[in-house]
Structure 1
Amino acid sequence: MLAHIKLPKASTLFFFLAFSVLSLSQINAQNDTLVLSNQDKLIGNIKEMTKGVVTIETDYSDSDFEIKWKDVIYVSSNQTYLMSLSNGRRINSKLHSKPGSENIVTLIQGDEVIETAISDVVYIKAIENNFLSRLDASLSVGFNITKTNNLTQFSILSNIGYTADKWGVTAGFNSVRSNQDDVDETKRTDANIGGKYFMKRDWYALVNATFLSNDEQLLKLRSSTQGGIGKYLIHSNRVYFSTGAGLAWTNENYTDPAIDTKNSLEAFVSLELNMFDYDDISLFSTFVVYPSLTESDRLRTDLNLNLKYDLPLDFFVQLGLTHNYDSKPIAGASTTDYIFQTTLGWELD
């Protein structure tokens, strides 16, 4: 009788086992739970929480849900996450609400058990996430035309950033070109690249390189390499506010070839403000002061201010202000230069 029983083919067994493993992994991936203040419950895969918004993937929607973290009263996930707390501590742990205690989560780092308010968790990222999940990028463009004097202006702004467990890198590019009847074309381009190494209690080491080409200030290229240390003074689910200080080595080449290249050593003090989770509006601003250590009475400042309004499908409208000041420019150059920009863009977040 056994001779009449047909055994499944090897290929059939292979597909059955593969399907079983995939199904089990999918079940585990969809085992995270969020409960909101209105008692709604979401079950799925918590991908990240940044800037006060938690992203969760579910089986019952083609698109991810984005929920304000302040509305979450209960969370449970067996995934291991990289998390930042409002006191600056960075933790690798699973994420579970404390039984019987609403708005309190229990984290385990090694042998240490940490209990803290949900609101004190300001950043969450699944450690197993791939490269793209840790990447943030945006691109926006603007075009203005004025009939009087036939003025046209084209702007392009781009930013990219990557956040790892202990460090992060960012880069940016901003270019403006203006054309007007009977006036030479004017150009202004600035770029930057920098990194931070995160330490305890919201301290970080920083390294930056900035570049500026500016017809208004007769600069062919100003490059500045900077190193220092910084600290987050406010690190919450709505506001990041930090300050930094260090030294900068600056090299300046001018549009007039008769003017010698200038090298100088500068100190710098910086402020950075990032405000978000104000409905669809966010604000990002940096202000840096450079007192020269090798030229007496010289002081430079750089200000960047960007106000962004989010649109559907990851599009946005952005208003920007960039201002540069130099107390001792070369002869014929302006002490100040500024630009206002209105751009439409898209972001990968």
Structure 2
Amino acid sequence: MKCKFKTFAYSLFSIVVVSAVFFNCDLTYSQTDSLHLKTGDILVGELMEMKQNVATFKTDYSDSDFKIKWKELVQLKTKTGYLITLSSGEHFSGQLMSTLDGEVAIVSQTDTLATTTLKDIVFLKQIDYSFWGNLEASLSLGYNFAKANNLSQYSVRSNLGYRTKGWSASTSYNHIVSTQSDVFTTQRLDANLVYKHYFKRKWFGLGEVNWLSNTAQNIDLRTLSKLGFGRYLIRTNSLYWGLQTGVSFNQENFSSESLSNSRSSSEAFLGTEANLYDIGDLNLLSRVVVYPSFTESGRWRTDFSVDIKYDLPLDFFINLGLSLNYDNQPANTPNKTDYIFQTTLGWSL
């Protein structure tokens, strides 16, 4: 009887040990996405996202996520679902699996959705049905002080975005304030709210509202509403370049004591935006938009901006930004041009 009990106990113990080992292995390797690199290394873990030619990869054996250049991959296999954008402008939801001939299949649970190559995948992000999983944000701050004339200057630059397979929404806020002894305080504030709806073949619809307050041009508040469409001419793992056009309505209120303290106008707009991000830790974003007026003869305006971002460890960054506004028929001021240059330190989510 004792022998049978010992045999039973030993068998039960063996089952427990084997089960523990099995489940421990399953927990340890539950993240089963795999990346094959040009160096011959194979990473096993969880591919979180890829944007601007950099993949974020999480493993159980490291507290920090890996940042990997997408062009260093030769093969991959995922069991995670992603929102995927190709250089052709097509959007998919599915998993990724490399084939032996260098192609990548985008698959669902029941079908192959498309076949592409690694270099033609320009964006992917884990499908997350929670609100916070699709949110992106950044905040940068700057401060300058000069004792000689008690000059103080404060800068804030922030961005917040939300993206799904078919659309994206974003907002930005940029504010700079300068105070100085015996001089009036000057400030400039610009903010926007942008909605894009993505169609096939790199086309998208655009709805946007911009706000500007600028003491240099006596603009108390300019509200610009835009409706149009655009297309990405180039979209790769190293850059994108696109055009947009449409109509806009411009409502301006001025801080001058002149009798004419507001005006409205209807305009067209034509803009272009380019982003270069395969230049080491640097990211260069530039955009220019021209607004010829329909209702004010001969008037046209231009908004131009360029941002150079240098990535630091732990998601910190240094940002150098230039913003310029030109109006060939400004109201209540001789200043046709105003620009600001900002240097800020920030953090991105």
- Scaled by the length of structure 2, what TM-score is found? 0.89
**Shift in Å, 1:172:** 0.6
2: CA distance, partners of 1:41 / 1:113 = 26
Residue 332 (structure 2) pairs with residue 340 (structure 1): no
Residues 127/231 of structure 1: CA separation in 2 closer, same or farther (3 Å cut): same
Contact 2:128 2:134 in 1 (8 A): no
Aligned to 1:16: none
1:332, 1:142 → 2: CA distance? Answer: 29
Say which is worse superposed, 189-198 or 131-140, in terms of deviation: 131-140
Match of 2:114 in 1: 114
RMSD of aligned residue pairs (Cα, Å):
2.2
Q: CA deviation at 1:231?
A: 0.6
Aligned to 1:249: 249
Closer, same or farther: CA 69–312 of 1 in aligned 2, 3 Å: same
Alignment of structure 1 residues 111-150 onto 2, 5 Å? 114-128=114-128, 130-150=130-150
> What is the CA–CA distance in structure 2 between the aligned matches of 1:266 and 1:164, rounded to whole Å?
31
- Code of the aligned partner of 1:152: S
| Count of aligned residue pairs for this structure pair | 330
Query: 1:166 is matched by which residue type in structure 2?
Result: G
Question: Match for residue 158 of structure 2?
Answer: 158
C-alpha distance in 2 between matches for 1:306 and 1:58: 33
2:276 partner SS:
strand
Confirm whether residue 309 of structure 1 aligns to residue 310 of structure 2. yes
Shift of residue 50 of structure 1? 1.0
Q: What secondary structure does 1:152 align onto?
A: strand
| Letter of the 2:67 counterpart | E
- Sequence identity (%): 42
Corresponding letter in the other structure for 2:40: Q
Secondary structure at 2:333's aligned position in 1?
coil
Q: Does 1:75 align with 2:76?
A: yes
Q: How far apart are the structure 1 equivalents of 2:164 and 2:105?
A: 23
- Quote how far apart the aligned CAs of 1:281 are: 0.6
Secondary structure at 2:266 match in 1: strand
| Structure 2 partner of 1:90 | 91
Which digits, 9 at most, give the CA deviation of each residue in 1:303-340, with x for residues without a partner? 11110111111111111101000000013241000011
Contact 1:275–1:282 (Cα < 8 Å) also in 2 = yes
Q: How does 1:126-275 map to 2 (within 5 A)?
A: 126-128=126-128, 130-257=130-257, 258-275=259-276
Equivalent residue letter for 1:233: L
Give how far 1:259 is off: 2.1
**Please, which runs of 5 or more residues in structure 2 have no aligned partner?**
6-19
> Aligned partners of 1:65, 1:29: CA distance in 2, in Å?
18
The superposition leaves residues 107-132 of structure 1 with CA deviations (integer Å, 9 ceiling, x where unpaired) of 23675553221110111112236333
Larger mean CA deviation between 206-215 and 254-263 belongs to 254-263
Query: Given that residues 218 and 332 in structure 2 are in contact (C-alpha distance below 8 angstroms), is that contact kept between their aligned partners in structure 1?
Result: no
Return the offset for 1:184: 0.7
How many Å separate the matches in 2 of 1:246 and 1:28? 51
Instruction: Give the conservation status (yes or no) of the 8 Å contact 2:169–2:193.
Output: yes
**Does the CA-based 8 Å contact 1:29-1:45 persist in structure 2?**
no
Partner residue, 2:16: none
Query: How many angstroms apart in 1 are the aligned matches of 2:27 and 2:334?
Result: 63
Aligned to 2:104: 105
- Structure 2 equivalent of residue 284 of structure 1: 285
- Give the SS at the match of 2:298: coil
Compared CA separation, residues 233 and 29, structure 1 to 2 (3 A): farther
3-state SS, counterpart of residue 201 of structure 2: helix
Distance in 2 (alpha carbons) for counterparts of 1:156 and 1:197: 28
Deviation at 1:106, TM superposition (A): 1.4
Quick one: which amino acid aligns to residue 242 of structure 2?
Answer: S
2:286 maps to amino acid: S
Alignment partners' CA distance in 2, 1:180 and 1:261:
29
Q: Is contact 2:243-2:273 (8 Å) kept?
A: yes
CA shift, 1:151, in A, is: 2.2
- Tell me what 1:319 maps to: 320
